[in-house]
Amino acid sequence: MDDLHDKIAELVLDTIFIVDVHGHINYVSPSCFDLLSYTQQELTGRKMIDLVLLDDRAKTLDESLLVMSGVPRVGFENRYVRADGSVVDIMWSARWSPEHQVRIGVARNVTTVKRQLAMQQAMYEISNAAHTVTELKQLYPKVRRILHSILPTSAFALALHDEQACLALQYQLDFCGDAAVLQAKVGKELCTLAAQSNKVELHGGSKGEPFWLAAPISRADKVFGVIVIRSHAGTVLGQQEAELLSFIAAQLSDAIERHRLHAELIAAATTDELTGLPNRRLFVDRAEAACRAARRHGHHFALLYVDVDRFKAVNDTYGHEAGDELLKQVARRLSKCVREEDTVARLGGDEFVILLPGVHQQASKALQEKIQAAFKEEFVLPTGVHVTRDPSIGLAVYPEDGDDVTALTRAADKRMYANKWHRSMKS
C-alpha cells in the first residue's frame, strides 16, 4: 500500500509535505525538487520554517498553529527560498492529522501566476499613470516606482533627444549612488545602441555583473528618447523584462507626445502669431498674477503701453506686408529693451504692452527713454524703404493708478493717448 501511495505521490504535480509537531519534515513528495530545487533526501528531517523567506516566517508560524489546532486551511500563501537563492510563491492546502500527530500540506507553486497578475496590474497602473499624470516630471518617478514593485532595479534613467539629437537626461535614480547612469560606459553605450537600432538592447549578466536593459522611446519609427534599467544583484533580465520595458517606452511615448501637443496648443493660444510675443490673453494672465503677488507682498509693478505713431500710413503706402515687417521689428526692439522677467506682449494692431513686475516709477521712466532711443534707428522694410516711427508711451503703476488689470490698462492707455496727442500738438 505504501508503495502505491508513493506512486500516487510521484504523479501529483503539487508537492506533499508531512511535518511533525516540532515542524520537521517527515516526508516530502518527489516534485519537491521542481518546487524548491532540493531533493527529498535533503529536505527530510529539516525544519520547515528554515526554508521560509524571513519576511514570511511570523505569519507562517501563526498559520501552522491554526492548522495544528484542527482547522483545515486552503489558500494560505507564503514564500520559500530555493536552493539557488531564488524565491518561490506557494499556495497551501493543509490539515492536521490528530491520529498521526502530523500536519499534511499540499504546496502549489503559484509564482508564475502571481507574477503574471502583478505584471498585468503594473502594466495597467503604468498605462493609467501615463494617461492621467499631468506633469511629465511626476510621471517618470511614478513609472519607476511601479516598475520597481514587480522588477526591482538598481538604477533607472530616462533621456530624450535634445535639438542636436543628443540624449539629454530627464530623470534618473541610482540606488548604487553612481549618480549618472548615462555617464556609466555600459549605460551610455547601450542607450546609444537602443536609439540607433530602435530595439530593446540587453547587456551583461556574465561573471556576476548586473544586467542592463535599454528600450527606445519612439514615434512613427523615429526614436526620440530611451529608457534604461540596471538589474539588482541576482536578478536576471531577459525576454519578459525586455517586453515590459518596451511596453513602458510605448506608454511614455504616448504621454510625451500628448504633453507636446498640449504645450503646442497652449503656446498657440497664448502667442501672437505675427511677432511671436505673448498675446493679450497671456498678458492678462500674467498681469493678474502680478496684481495678486503685489497685493500679497505690498509691492509695486508697472505697465507700459506702447503704440506706434502713424503706423497706418506704412500699411497704406507700402502695403500690409511692410506693416507686418515693421510690427515684427518693433517687437524685437521692445524685447531687447527689457529684462527676462518682464513681459512684452502685443495686444493687437500696433499696440504693445510691457509688464514690469516689482518695478518702480523711476525705473519705468528709464525704460521709456530706452524705448524712445530704440525707435530712433530707422526701420528697414521689405521693399528696401527706410522709415522712422516714434512710439507713444503710457505708464501706469500699481497700486497708485489702479488695483486691478482693467483699471491699470485703462490708465496706461489713457496716458499713452495723452502723450500722443501732446506730441501731435507740438509737431
Nearest to 353 by CA among 419, 412, 290: 412
- How far lies 415's CA from each of 279, 352, 393, 411, in Å? 21, 14, 7, 6
Q: What's the CA gap between 74 and 336, in Å, rounded?
A: 77
Contact 360, 342 (CB under 8 A): no
The amino acid present at 40, given as its one-letter code, is Q
Does residue 310 belong to the site contacting ligand GTP (CB under 6 A)? yes
Identity of the residue, 166 or 313, whose beta carbon is nearer to ligand GTP in the bound complex: 313
Identity of the residue, 160 or 381, whose beta carbon is nearer to ligand GTP in the bound complex: 381
Does residue 413 belong to the site contacting ligand GTP (CB under 6 A)? no
- Whether omega before 210 lies within 30 degrees of 0, making that bond cis, reads no
Identity of the residue, 248 or 282, whose beta carbon is nearer to ligand GTP in the bound complex: 282
Q: Which stretch binds ligand GTP (CB under 6 A): 34-42, 246-254, 304-312, 333-341?
A: 304-312
Among residues 309, 342, 401, 413, which is the contact residue for ligand GTP, using CB under 6 A?
309
Nearest to 311 by CA among 410, 372, 391: 391
Does residue 386 belong to the site contacting ligand GTP (CB under 6 A)? no
DSSP letters for 34-94: HHHS--HHHHTTSBGGGGB-GGGHHHHHHHHHHHHTT--EEEEEEEEE-TTS-EEEEEEEE
Q: What's the CA gap between 89 and 76, in Å, rounded?
A: 11
Identity of the residue, 350 or 401, whose beta carbon is nearer to ligand GTP in the bound complex: 350
- CB neighbour list of residue 243: distance below 8 Å, 6 or more residues apart: 200
Binding residues for ligand GTP restricted to 40-99, rule: CB under 6 A: none
Does residue 272 belong to the site contacting ligand GTP (CB under 6 A)? no
3-state secondary structure of 352: strand
Among residues 86, 111, 315, 329, which is the contact residue for ligand GTP, using CB under 6 A?
315
Identity of the residue, 350 or 413, whose beta carbon is nearer to ligand GTP in the bound complex: 350
Among residues 274, 294, 374, 387, which is the contact residue for ligand GTP, using CB under 6 A?
274
Identity of the residue, 362 or 427, whose beta carbon is nearer to ligand GTP in the bound complex: 427
Q: Which stretch binds ligand GTP (CB under 6 A): 102-110, 139-147, 312-320, 376-384?
A: 312-320
Q: What's the CA gap between 371 and 369, in Å, rounded?
A: 5
Identity of the residue, 5 or 310, whose beta carbon is nearer to ligand GTP in the bound complex: 310
Among residues 187, 216, 225, 323, which is the contact residue for ligand GTP, using CB under 6 A?
323
Q: Which stretch binds ligand GTP (CB under 6 A): 186-194, 248-256, 311-319, 377-385?
A: 311-319
Identity of the residue, 224 or 417, whose beta carbon is nearer to ligand GTP in the bound complex: 417
Paired residues of 302 in beta bridges: 356, 397
- What is the residue whose three cell numbers read 538598481? 154
Among residues 182, 249, 303, 327, which is the contact residue for ligand GTP, using CB under 6 A?
327
Identity of the residue, 213 or 304, whose beta carbon is nearer to ligand GTP in the bound complex: 304
Does residue 423 belong to the site contacting ligand GTP (CB under 6 A)? no
Q: How far is the CB of 345 from ligand GTP (least distance, A)?
A: 14
Q: Which stretch binds ligand GTP (CB under 6 A): 156-164, 213-221, 238-246, 308-316?
A: 308-316
Does residue 349 belong to the site contacting ligand GTP (CB under 6 A)? yes
Torsion, Cα of 330, 335, 336, 340 (10° steps): 180
Binding residues for ligand GTP, rule CB under 6 A, total 15
- For 417, phi then psi, to 5°, come to -65, -40
Contact 157, 178 (CB under 8 A): no
Q: What's the CA gap between 213 and 75, in Å, rounded?
A: 36
Report the interface residues with ligand GTP, using CB under 6 A: 274, 307-313, 315, 320, 323-324, 327, 349-350
